[in-house]
C-alpha cells in the first residue's frame, strides 16, 4: 500500500470541507443578493471566512488523526 490508512483518513478530512474558493463565492453571492448595499464589505470578509474554514478543516483532520492513532476507528 502506498499510503498508511491513517494518512488517507487525515487527508480525507482535510480535503472534504468547505475551505475552497467556490464555497466562499456561493456565500458571498448569496449574502450580496440579500444585502446589495454591503456587497463590498461581504467580499472583504470572504477571505477571513476562507482562512477560518481552512483552520476548521485542519482541526477536524487533527482530531480524526488522534482518534485513528489511538485505535478508535
Write out pLDDT tens, residues 21-51.
888 888 889 999 999 999 889 888 888 888 9
| Percentage, residues of the chain above pLDDT 70 | 93
User: Maximum CA pair distance of the chain?
Assistant: 54
State CA 72 to chain mean position distance. 24
User: Residue 71: which pLDDT band, with cuts at 50, 70 and 90?
Assistant: low
User: Residue 72: which pLDDT band, with cuts at 50, 70 and 90?
Assistant: low
Average pLDDT over residues 58-72: 81
Query: All 3 cell numbers of residue 43?
Result: 467580499
Average pLDDT over residues 4-12: 85
Q: Report the number of secondary-structure helices (H) and strands (E) in the chain.
A: 3, 0
Amino acid at each position: 500500500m502506498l499510503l498508511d490508512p491513517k494518512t488517507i483518513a487525515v487527508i480525507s478530512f482535510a480535503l472534504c470541507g468547505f475551505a475552497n474558493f467556490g464555497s466562499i463565492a456561493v456565500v458571498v453571492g448569496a449574502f450580496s443578493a440579500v444585502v446589495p448595499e454591503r456587497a463590498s464589505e461581504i467580499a472583504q470578509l470572504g477571505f477571513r471566512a476562507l482562512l477560518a474554514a481552512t483552520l476548521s478543516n485542519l482541526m477536524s483532520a487533527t482530531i480524526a488523526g488522534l482518534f485513528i492513532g489511538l485505535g478508535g476507528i
